[in-house]
Structure 1
């Protein structure tokens, strides 16, 4: 190894010893384009996990309601009462909610609704060569929204899924969410269901909820498409039922964030924003990316201090221990290159030139720009759904949108002049493919 190479290694080792919370990734001296092999990546799910998910799905398909009760007792330690909660209970919860919270839910719902109403596609009509093609956008008849629960509650996820479905025109929207220890569902989640227009709620969580929504039970009516985030079991269950029901959006699994920042940003801002997504719990991802070594240490120290006093200490640590990273890069350009390679669920460009750099972002679930642009805005009131692609799927997938609830259906109207104007093209292509009946279907009409 050259003397300069030894110096680089020594610098990284010395810096690594000073970083207390995050795993250091030093890319300052990397040559050439970055590749996935140059950075740590979350491990793929173990085969045993896939088999457990498959077994749960099969148990629900065979056992119906009885299986749902048994699995809920086994995994959640809860004995379920009624398997369905209807709108009158949702409305009652809304009216008994603390007024400030009820108002917050209403504001969030309004902002989400505004964003997606502005995105509603219109029908299209194209006419030429004697043929008219009309595109219709048809909503699925029913949708199931999975809302995580257990250690936390997520009324926001109700709003960020069911509201989008309702704007798209879905007639029947239901929610499935893990029950509380007494088998009930918390008031805030019920109230959010009322605000978003949810038709029914099932107090069921995990892979068993996905199976029930996909295949139905004596109580649960199967849906046409399933959306919503969840833990690894939920995400894998959605992948396994994808041949039998629509699966909205992308691989929406454990939460991820990548924060790009430098000394122009208060290190406490970057630190708490790493914790914002890490506090969702295990299997998530949290990256700090900066080109300032001193700033990296300041953020790491601020994060260490924050985590130590957090009420969500164990959840944050469970993410950071395995997937908490601090990347030291050579430039802003390399920071964006790294972000595009990781393709995070949430990308925060907190530094002064964040808006300029956002033009070069290709792979992210959603991009937040500005020193105050914490992803927490996106989780609640920014407007775009917080159901976003994880595990690198932002390279080819998008956040939850109207298209996840809509089908494109074309109507083709063949006018009386089409045979003469463009029928010849059908015959030519059919002949070269050897499909004689195709060509004859035109020729016979031409001769008539």
Structure 2
């Protein structure tokens, strides 16, 4: 097992200066086994290194934002060339036009696009636009994991302190009647959903039925393409499944890790945020850093890479080999009902269940502990085009060792004596417990700089 001495010291300092100890809840130390949350210093391809000198094969890849690999040279070089001439100006640049044209050539059914920095920028702008276009307040959202940091979504989660009641109703994915019930109950501005997720493909006719229900009830259809865009297809899930939304929201892999997102949609709606309308104007998106040149250059380089190198095929091949290998090991060890790799090959996850077959955070912690300690880092098995056969072979071998420990836990009926520390916990939860961090100040400066 590895030494995390310096990582633990830095993490302790992070808790002193950053609420939660990370700037993204999904990156928090509570998502990893206690005292085994590496603090990273660099990455290359599918590998990362922490401040203790440990090397890992990484999965998850920047919360699914890196599909071409860390430090992918064509993207890095394009950014370096561009920012040498300036990053942010007081007027639009030609690069904004070129990037918008690149985007609109890719996305079916989109007439206009506006760039921003974060996914929530785009999703909340879509909600605002739908409300303005329809004159309605209510939003119908699918029962999928995450859409925004803003009130309209976070108010529906367990972590809703400080948020007033939201005009948001949920419906069940792949259940047209549950959506119809919401649409009949009150006027709805938009139906907000992912067309698919890692664990859920649309049933035959479902997306077409959603489109028809939106048209019937006068609601806009909004697809969240944050994960599916550039992972299912460069043109998004809407191209894969052949259903065109009114608005779509993009981000993550658009810039191979560089900060860029986009709201795209039909001209009749998008123009409400512009200067070619007689209607009341919508404050659609207006961000200082939305059009900075570095991320737009990164996006254009990503588009070129997708046009010439077929990264999705490589991601899917790596993910398929990994899932098949790990599932074969679990079956061989007799724990296939408790440890499984499932989902779309480019976006797969591992399921961890207890001896009663229930999803278990304790067993998840055990599996993560055994992976991280052996040089595999990730909360999932989300691949990139940079994952090589050697990476997959190494990961499968690590999973064999981890699964052997997992089998012991299943046989003894629990993880006692096998897991060091407290279990991981859901990122969005009401209280810091069960991973509350002690508030007693700890002087670790000498550990870092001595």
How would you bin the TM-score normalised by the shorter chain? under 0.3
Report the structure, 1 or 2, having the larger helix content. Answer: 1
**TM-score normalised according to structure 2 size:** 0.23
For the pair shown, the structure with the greater C-alpha radius of gyration is 1
